[in-house]
Amino acid sequence: MIKRFGDFTAVDGIDVDVQAGEAFGFLGPNGAGKSSTMRMIGCVSPPTDGVLEILGMDPRRDGSAIRARLGVCPQLDNLDAELTVRENLVTYARFFGISRATARRRADELLDFVQLGERADSKTEPLSGGMKRRLTIARALVNEPDIVLLDEPTTGLDPQARHLVWERLFRLKQQGVTLVLTTHYMDEAEQLCDRLVVMDGGKIVAEGSPRELIERHSTREVVELRFTAEDQGMYGEKLDGVADRVEVLPDRVLLYADDGDYALAEVHRRSLSPASALVRRAGLEDVFLQLTGRTLVD
Amino acid sequence: MLTLVMPKLVAFEGSGRRSVSVTERNVAALKSAYWLVLIGGLLEPVLYLFSIGVGVGSLIGDIELSDGRSVGYTEFVAPAMLAASAMSGALAETTFNFFGKMKFMRLYDGMLATPVRPFEIALGELLWAMARGSVYSVVFLAIMVAMGLTTPLRALAAFPAAVLVGFGFGALGMTVATLIRSWQDFDLIGAGQFALFLFSGTFVPAEAYPTALRWLVEVSPLYRAVDLIRGITLGSVGWVQVIDVLYLLVLLAVGLTVSGRRMGKLLCK
């Protein structure tokens, strides 16, 4: 699948297959082509080239019928500021041809589900970012969709709000709803996705379950070192050989090793004394760094 | 046989239903503040009717129509004010509000994630604009009847004509809205609308202009609208009014098609 905007190629020939009932993630930094991909899957942006089939239908011909079975939670909340919280859901349900009585009943159920029942008659303006996002998710569920598309569902939320959103999404997943999401947060991908692809510059650079990707592209553990000296770079040479791989970043040095404690002991043996040292399990962040040579959030 | 016909019927029926659901959204959003806007839109033509129709009219006296009849100046101006208010009601809804919803409230992005199609949004918004314009028209026609500027029966006949005028200008306005780049462009629209308001046979018959200008006046959409409604309220309907109706129907069809297509291009990139 390819998407071009003039001379710019946003999505450069990706090939993915999402199974019903799975939680599938597109992981990558800003500008990787994740949102363009989501818009194509959401049938609001025709692919420039390639084949796209959703629920066994062709978006070019059956866009409206496909969208009837999708739930979309866009990156930027586009709630209706002129309506109340409940009206937002009821009005949206009407776009799907759902009867007014059913729409009202479902709106109340969904508001409970996303814990916004008490704010039902409030305007959307005074809601916090986390509440707005939860309302957007509730809105995406109003047609009882087979697939829910979530474009960076927790970007810009505080940790508490993120966990609440994750918990709700996890419950959806348990109910058998197919989730397709994009994220540039490693922990989000690890928490929610059964399978994911790592995207960079419009291309897929790796594919698999979070565990598989970490095993394939990283060591088991990582040691994060911070030195007080201005230039972390000069430590690159001094640390050569202490671990399988040494990655020097502007603010810290990463040592990739299957036994982090052993690597750290080796650092001390070379009489280097970092200001702080942390041994942790490797994550998708490390996979991305290994694959592209860059960090995800820059 | 049945299976061959059914999908098409269902698809069309669904399209109409989805358009109405877009209109419904506007009804749900109708809040007290909005009524002020509605009253504001009605105030303008009424003020013009009194200041120019009645005020200036008392200096002018009677005016001779092209068929040789002569009528009071207020009777001459009133149907033009009705047409102009149907126009401005429809334009306000379809340019300013439509643009705001599309660009700033990102309302249509949300709608397009549902089965609703761009064309159905255009149609739904147009129905809404027309509903708003109809309220203006009913009140204005009632004022005209009360002032003895037309008969109740003619007023009744003029109502659907005013609705058609609203439809035509609504479709035109929506097309313009899809071409707007920023809020600054609204100054241009305002200027254009005011020029139409002044020179579309509203205060002066088109015959008063030199031939070249008169031709320009007579092809303007508001002139056709004024001609249609004036013909009805003054009871002088002829073949020209059939042309007016056709003109407005074409305006509606073209406007709706173009704006639906332009919206698709703008929003479904």
**Amino acid identity, position B234:** L
User: Is the pLDDT higher at A249 or at B219?
Assistant: B219
Domain locations in chain A as residue ranges: 2-207, 219-282
The CA distance from B146 to the nearest CA of chain A, in Å, is: 37
Chain B residues near residue A91 by CB distance under 8 angstroms: 21, 24-25, 28
| 3-state secondary structure labels for all residues of chain A | CEEEECCEEEEECCCCCCCCCCEEEEECCCCCCHHHHHHHHCCCCCCCECCCCECCECHHHHHHHHHCCEEEECCCCCCCCCCEHHHHHHHHHHHCCCCHHHHHHHHHHHHHHCCCHHHCCCECCCCCHHHHHHHHHHHHCCCCCCEEEEECCCCCCCHHHHHHHHHHHHHHHHCCCEEEEEECCHHHHHHHCCEEEEEECCEEEEEECHHHHHHHHCCCEEEEEECCCCCHHHHHHHCCCCCCEEEECCCCEEEEECCHHHHHHHHHHCCCCCCEEEEEECCHHHHHHHHHCCCCCC
- The number of residues in chain A equals 298
The helix/strand count (H/E) of chain B reads as 12, 2
Q: Between chains, do B116 and A94 touch, taking CB under 8 Å as contact? A: no
Which three-class secondary structure state does DSSP give residue B70? strand
Which three-class secondary structure state does DSSP give residue B124? helix
Nearest CA to B64 among B208, B191, B211?
B208
Q: Between chains, do A82 and B110 touch, taking CB under 8 Å as contact? A: no
The CA distance from A287 to the nearest CA of chain B, in Å, is: 32
Q: Between chains, do B14 and A97 touch, taking CB under 8 Å as contact? A: yes
Which three-class secondary structure state does DSSP give residue B236? coil
The CA distance from A21 to the nearest CA of chain B, in Å, is: 21
The reported pLDDT for the residue numbered B248 is 96
Chain A residues near residue B112 by CB distance under 8 angstroms: 44
Each of the 269 residues of chain B gets a pLDDT tens digit; together they read 333 443 444 445 688 899 999 999 988 887 656 667 667 777 888 898 888 888 888 888 888 887 778 889 999 999 999 999 889 888 888 888 888 888 877 889 999 999 999 889 989 999 988 887 888 899 899 999 999 999 999 999 999 999 999 999 999 999 999 888 888 888 999 999 999 999 998 998 888 889 888 988 999 999 999 999 999 999 888 899 999 999 999 999 999 889 988 988 888 87
Q: Say how far apart CA B110 and CA A139 lie, in whole Å.
A: 10
Q: Between chains, do A70 and B28 touch, taking CB under 8 Å as contact? A: no
The CA distance from A106 to the nearest CA of chain B, in Å, is: 17
Residue B14 forms contact with A (CB below 8 Å): yes
Quote the radius of gyration of chain B (alpha carbons, Å): 20
Q: A219-282 adopts what CATH topology?
A: Alpha-Beta Plaits (3.30.70)
Residue A42 forms contact with B (CB below 8 Å): yes
CATH C-level class of A2-207: alpha beta
CA B195-B80-B233 angle, 5° bins: 165
Residue A122 forms contact with B (CB below 8 Å): no
Residues whose CB is less than 8 angstroms from the CB of residue B39 and which lie 6 or more positions away in sequence, other chains included:
none
Q: Is the ipTM of this complex over 0.85?
A: no
The reported pLDDT for the residue numbered B6 is 38
Place of tokens 């490797």: A282
